[in-house]
Amino acid sequence: MKQQEPTPPGGLGPKPRVPEKPGTPGKGFKLGSPLGYVLLLALGLLLFSRLFENVGVYRVGYSQFREAVENGQFTKVQISPEWVKGELKDSAPPPPQQGQDRELRGDLKALPWMAYRVAGDDTLVELLEEKEIPYEAVRQSGFSEVLWIWLIPLALMVFFWSFFMRRMAGGIGQGPQGVMSFGKTRAKVQAEADTGVGFKDVAGVDEAVEELREIVEFLKTPEKFRRLGGRIPKGVLLLGPPGTGKTLLARAVAGEAGVPFFSLSGSEFVEMFVGVGAARVRDLFAQAAAKAPCIVFIDELDAIGKSRNAGIAGGHDEREQTLNQLLAEMDGFDNRAGLIILAATNRPEILDSALLRPGRFDRQVLVDRPDKRGRERVLEIHSRNVKLGPDVDLKAIAARTPGFAGADLANVVNEAALLAARRNRDAVMRADFEEAIERVVAGLEKKNRRMNEREKEIVAHHEAGHAVVGWMLPHTERVTKVSIIPRGLAALGYTMSLPLEDRYLMSLEELRDKMAGMMGGRAAEELFIGEISTGAANDLKQATEVARLMVRDYGMSSLGPVALGAEPGSVFLRSAGLPESRSYSEQTARMVDEEVRKLVTEALERARHVLRTHKDKAQALAARLLATEVLEEEAMLVLLGPKVVPDRGLIHPEARQVVSAHPAEEQEGGPPTQHSQSTPDA
Enumerate the active-site residues.
Answer: 463
d(CA 675, CA 538): 35
Q: What is the rounded radius of gyration, in angstroms, for the C-alpha atoms of the chain?
A: 42
Nearest to 278 by CA among 244, 221, 318: 318
Nearest to 445 by CA among 409, 402, 488, 482: 488
Q: Is the CB of residue 382 less than 8 Å from the CB of residue 410?
A: yes
Classify residue 422 by burial, with Cβ atoms within 10 Å: 0-12, 13-18, 19+: exposed
d(CA 453, CA 26): 75
Give residue 208's Cα distance to chain centre: 23
Report the relative pairing of strands 83-88 and 113-116 from DSSP bridges: antiparallel
Would you list the DSSP string of 422-474? HTT-SSB-HHHHHHHHHHHHH--B-TT-PPPHHHHHHHHHHHHHHHHHHHHST
Report the relative pairing of strands 58-59 and 113-116 from DSSP bridges: parallel
Is residue 299 classed as helix, strand or coil in its secondary structure? strand
Question: In which region does residue 240 sit, left (phi positive, over 0), alpha (psi from -120 to 50) or beta (all else)?
Answer: left
Q: Is the CB of residue 611 less than 8 Å from the CB of residue 521?
A: no
List of residues 6+ apart from 158 with CB closer than 8 A: 34, 37, 38, 41
d(CA 177, CA 314): 29
Is residue 144 classed as helix, strand or coil in its secondary structure? helix
Report the relative pairing of strands 235-239 and 261-265 from DSSP bridges: unpaired
Instruction: Measure Cα distances from 332 to 36, 285, 301, 335, 355 in Å.
Output: 47, 10, 19, 9, 13
